[in-house]
Every structure is written in C-alpha cells, then in structure tokens.
Structure 1
C-alpha cells in the first residue's frame, strides 16, 4: 500500500498537499489509540487472566469454540477487530495447546469470530468507523444495532456449526487448576481504568444516539481518553509503544492517499455508483468480492460519494458495512485482522494456507451473505 501511495505521488497522480488532506486524521487517531490499549492489555497480564477464565468454563470442544466465538466476537464489537486480533492470537494458541486441538483451527475460529462479531458495531472495525464519518447525520449505534445485531448473532452461530469438526478432539482440563498463574502487574489497574473510560465513552455515545441526552463524543476522542492513562501511568510504556502496530497505521495512511488518487482518476467509480443504486444483494456481493482485490477499507473509501449523497438509504449503509466486513471470512486477504493473525501464527511456526482458510471460509461467507441479505430485504431500514 505504501509503495502504491509513493508511486502516485512520484508520477504526479496526486499532489503532496492533496495527499496530506486525503489522510483521515480521525481514523488514524482512533486506530493508534486502540492499538495502544490493546498492547497495554497484553502487557498487563490480563491475557493470562482471560486464558484461566476460558479454561475454567470450557468443559468440551463445543463449549471452547462457543466461548472463543462469543467472547472474541463481542470484544471485537467494542475494542475493534484488529485490536482483538493482536490480543487474541496468543490467547487462542495457548488454549489450543492446552486443549489439544488444532492451532490452525483455533486461529481460524478467532479470524471468523472477530470479523463477524464486528459487523453490528460502528467501532467494530475500521471500515464501519469510516462509514460513520460519512453518514454523521445518522445515529450510528441505533442504526447498526437495530439493523445488524440479529443477523450477526445468527452468523456467529454459522461459524460455530462450520468449525465444530476442528474442535472435536478437545480434551478436558480440571476446572480447579489454573493453566497460567496471573502475575502481579502494577499496570493492571491502569488498564482497568482505561477500559472503564472506553466503556463509559461508548455508553455515553449510545445514550445520546438513542435519547439525545448527554454529549455526542467523537469516537477518536473516546479512544484517546482511554489510551492516555496507558501512556502516562504504566511503567512499561516504552514496551507498549514498541508493541503498537505501527505497520497497520502506515497501511491506512497510505491507503487514504492511494484511494484518493484512484477516486480522482475515475477508476472503479462506475462500479461503485452502479452498485450504490442497486439492490441489497448487489451491494453485499460487491463488498465481498471487491474487498478481496482492494481490501475492505479502501472499498468503503471509494463509496464515499454515494454515502454522502442526499437521502442515502440506511439499508444501503448497512449492506455496505456487512458486505465489506464479512469479506474477511472469504479469504485471508479480505481483512487486515486476518493478516495480523496469520503473521502471528507464522512467527510461531504455524502455517495457515489459503486453501485451508477458504475450505471453511467460503461456506461461512455464503450462508452469512444469505442471512444479511434476507434480513435487510425483509426488514428494510
């Protein structure tokens, strides 16, 4: 992505001034803050606490898979899927080892869970957050929750059904035994406070969206307020900054530049405008397929002129969010969170091939597409 951004700058397809203006500072600030919180969560020892909790509540492979899907799916809706990809990778690898199941299968469950779980939240993934910046006149939480929560629950159930065979060999761990003894980390209270601020800000946002009472705090301000304590008060702040996913931030900054250049040339605009005027199935299909080529966030960025047009249909917005998000279940290239998890696996010597991913991802995506399309057409917003 960076090479593409540099190429359009060098060839004069976009001016340096236009390139700087193309970068969305709110999105970059939001991502940076969430990555800092995620790195702090891992460094604080709360990862070990989470492993112990899941271990003590999973008595079978089916229960373990359900806990991974539910916990990671709903955490991604609150803390963003890329953040949970960073936190959850080491967690599920330990769980896979302790329960004697396929590590590739456990990581696949994490990929599908955080991708699917993030669909119904405006801060569940970068593309949803980007959509909310384009349709600011709509109440994002009310819109996403009312239109996408039920089909997302059903879609998480599909993940459980499809991946069950990979968890059949799970062995039982005695509930009274803690797999990993939690360490006494002084930064844990800071992380608790940071997460409290995050939930408080999101709660205020929801209340304002539903009732109009209180303050409508921008998402990036909420994330920054939660990240500041991590930077100021944790003793290992430098280690946390080193763990922050700077490469993904470079990816998004470069993506904004490259996609602005693509938009200026008119490439893809005929497809985007055609689908923007089309039906729910067409938008979902375009989101799933084109996100494999240019990734989901750039695809949503190209939809900006359609989303900013007067009287944009809420159903169109939700179809765009759903399609561009569940694209991450089709192939590894469909979501940045997949790439983060796959890179973690490679560092541990675990290889997840595209063939293995698609063997389970294709049926999951096909059924989920049917669920979201049916719900949005039967219950239009």
Structure 2
C-alpha cells in the first residue's frame, strides 16, 4: 500500500464519504462522481468495475433489487399494502409502539428466510401507509425495521449475503446457522425493541381521532384488483420458494427475482412502462457507484491491507481473536459494504482457523458473521437494506438524513455488539 494509487484511492473514498455525510450534494451524484474518479486515477478499470466478481459492481444485488422492485410495484397497484396497513393497525389497537413492535418482529422473521433487502422492499410501503393513517413520522419505524432486517438476517445462511460467503468458506450448513446464531438474533431483536422505546419515545403519540378512523375501516375494501392480487401473491410465493430452495436449485436470488418479475408482467394486465416506473433507479445508480468505489479500495490493496493488519493483531489466541474480529468487523462494515469486506476477510479467517488447529466450535466464523451483519446498522450506507429504505423514504417525500439514521444506528450497533460479545464469550469460551 505504498504506491500513490492506494493513497489517492483512500482520498477519493474518504472525500466521497464526507460529502455523503454532509448531504450538501445528493448521494447519487457523489457516488457516481467518486466511481468516475476511481476510474480516472487508475484505481480500477472498466473490466474490473463492470465484470470482476471480486471488485466490480455486484450485478446480483442490482438485478435482485430491480426484480423485487418490479414485483412490489405490481402489488402496490392491488391495494395489498393498504390492506396490510389497516390490518396491522387494528391488531395493535392503533397504539404506535405496538405497531412498531409488530412490524419489527415481522421484519426480523421475514429476513431470516428472505434476504434483508427483499424484506424491507415489502415492509416499507406498508409502514409508510400505517404512519400516514396515524399521522406519525415514518422515520423511526423505517429505521427500526431496517435494523431488524439486518439482525434477522444473522439467523440463517440465506438471511444475509455475507453468511453465504462464510458458509461456503467454512463448510457450514443452514442448520449450523440456525443453531448457533438464531438464538442471538432473537435476543438482539428484543434489545432493539427496548432501545426503540427509549430512542423514539417522542414519536409514539397516540391520536385518538385518527385511531378511531382507522379502527372503523374494513381492510377488505382496500383491495382494488383481486385478480391481480392473486397473480402477484402466487408469483411472490414462487420467488420466496426460489430463495429458500437456493441450496437445492442453485439459482442466484437475482435470477429468481428477474424471472418472477418477468412472469408477473407477462401474465398480468400491468403495463410494462408503469411497472418499470416503480423501480428506484437512483438507488440502483447509487449502489453501482458505491460498488465501483469499494472496488477501487480492493484493487489497490487497501481492504486487503486492513484485513491483514487485523489478522496480525489477532495472532493465535482464538478467544481474543474472536472478540477482535467481532468488533473490527462491526466497525469496518459500518464504513464499507459488508459483502466485499467478508469476501476479503473470509480467506484470512480460514487461515487463522487452520493455524489454531481447525477451531471446531467455529467461534471465529460466527464472530465474523455477527460483526459484519451488525456493523451494517451503524451508518446509513453500512448495509444494502439501509440504502434501499432511504431511497423509498425519499421517493415518498419523507426523507431520512444520513445523520438521522446514523445517530440511532451507532447506539443500536454499540448495544447489540456488546450483547454479542457476551453471547460469544458465554457460548464458546466461558464453559469451554
């Protein structure tokens, strides 16, 4: 990391990150400008940026998002989200905190079976409608849900993309993740609910008149097109089945989502142009730019150097190494996307585990997964789901600023990482 390319890459990335935080320039413009500068200074090139699996745009993420946005766009026309909004409010008796708790639990459970991005794409529209009905600010609800999606994603192999990378490297199964990490995910969701009660207490204002209006509604009347709803739900069920059966079918989630979107548009009366208009194109452009910038850090060896420095600090002590790996991964995953970080750190972790005699309890791998998944909650761009929700909120004209998200994200990340330290120590070292 002694050449000027590495330092120039760091300057570009830090400068872009600072501009995103300042919000003086729209984050999409910053991401695309930063990506362009990475290409200009030679930190990466067109082949690496557009075709490399390790350091280029993750087209699986882009097309997964596009396919699911199209499916959600069709479902939005049926009135399904209005139905779910009224149903959830009535179940919670229109009490704001109860509504938030219900949506958080649903989001966490769904994220264990779906990827967290797909989950927030489905839950966020319902949340916006719930908040509109109850005259509440949607920001606390959306922030809590995206954090719940990242926590729920810890529980299973398919819940978060870094888990798939770790499972492949470590030879772990779906059941391994459920046995080792699902209990922690459940505890963390409870911690999140307690924190939300404190952090957002000023937002839980009960409006008796609004509540009475919603409780008097008949949710079935919200359905505008029953036939389209049936078609949409059948396709969505097939897509979800494709996600869950990934270990058997071996179709990437992006392929499943695109097939589902194409099938739904083909069999339904939805107009193609209208469906494509529902896609959050600025969000996809932001992801593309962010992937290229991070690719520059990977290509010039910056990410690899940071990972190796972490490996040197860890040494041969599994307990200390697991704790350092958990905390270090949480910090780094709050700055760069956790997918390239885990892809870079996985082979280094494999070497550390090998040097420690195989580490049969897999504590190092669990520490890497927990830190990488939870670190995404720290900042507004720490995880893919965060960026997607910010894009949805902006399109609904209820924008959430970088700092509005991050000031709560840092608190939640610190608390959940602290709990995770206790969990890892108790489960793998205290009685080992």
Report the TM-score when normalising by structure 1.
0.82
Residues 276-318 of structure 1: per-residue CA shift (max 9 Å, x gap): 5732332222222223332333433432543665858643333
* Match of residue 376 from structure 2: 328
Shift in alpha-carbon separation, 1:129–1:137, aligned structure 2, 3 A:
closer
Does the 8 Å contact 1:345/1:351 carry over to 2? yes
* Match of residue 4 from structure 1: 34
* Match of residue 103 from structure 1: 138
* Match of residue 150 from structure 1: 183
Separation in 1 of the partners of 2:225 and 2:267? 16
Separation in 2 of the partners of 1:129 and 1:272? 19
Q: Does 1:242 align with 2:277?
A: yes
Q: Does 1:86 align with 2:127?
A: no
Does the 8 Å contact 1:89/1:344 carry over to 2? yes
Q: 1:169 aligns with which of 176, 199, 205?
A: 205
Does the 8 Å contact 2:105/2:148 carry over to 1? yes
| Number of corresponding residues | 372
Residues 140-183 of structure 1: per-residue CA shift (max 9 Å, x gap): x2233222211111111112112222464234446452367221
Residues 240-291 of structure 1: per-residue CA shift (max 9 Å, x gap): 2232234444444444544443223221323212435732332222222223
Shift in alpha-carbon separation, 1:192–1:238, aligned structure 2, 3 A:
same
Separation in 2 of the partners of 1:329 and 1:272? 20
* Match of residue 318 from structure 1: 366
Q: 2:81 aligns with which of 47, 52, 61?
A: 47
Separation in 1 of the partners of 2:388 and 2:63? 19
* Match of residue 184 from structure 1: 225
Separation in 1 of the partners of 2:228 and 2:342? 37
Report the TM-score when normalising by structure 2.
0.73
Q: Does 1:21 align with 2:57?
A: no
Separation in 2 of the partners of 1:286 and 1:137? 23
Shift in alpha-carbon separation, 1:218–1:97, aligned structure 2, 3 A:
closer
* Match of residue 194 from structure 1: 235
| 1:333 partner SS | coil
Shift in alpha-carbon separation, 1:365–1:348, aligned structure 2, 3 A:
same
Shift in alpha-carbon separation, 1:162–1:220, aligned structure 2, 3 A:
same
Q: Which moved more, 1:119-128 or 1:228-237?
A: 119-128
Tell me the CA shift for residue 121 of structure 1: 3.5
Tell me the CA shift for residue 69 of structure 1: 0.6
Does the 8 Å contact 2:34/2:293 carry over to 1? yes
Separation in 2 of the partners of 1:346 and 1:124? 26
Does the 8 Å contact 1:38/1:84 carry over to 2? no
Tell me the CA shift for residue 234 of structure 1: 2.8
Alignment of 1:228-377 (within 5 A): 228-236=262-270, 237-276=272-311, 278=314, 279-306=321-348, 311=354, 314-350=362-398, 352-354=400-402, 356-377=404-425
Q: Which moved more, 1:32-41 or 1:236-245?
A: 32-41
Instruction: Name structure 1 gaps, 5 residues minimum.
Output: 209-213
Q: Which moved more, 1:89-98 or 1:297-306?
A: 297-306
Structure 1 consecutive aligned stretches of length 4 or more whose deviation exceeds 6 Å: none
Does the 8 Å contact 1:101/1:166 carry over to 2? no
Separation in 2 of the partners of 1:220 and 1:86? 14
Residues 171-217 of structure 1: per-residue CA shift (max 9 Å, x gap): 44464523672212532222211222133334445xx6xxxxx6555
Residues 69-97 of structure 1: per-residue CA shift (max 9 Å, x gap): 11122223334333333343332222123
| 2:172 partner SS | coil
Instruction: Give the CA RMSD over aligned residues.
Output: 3.3
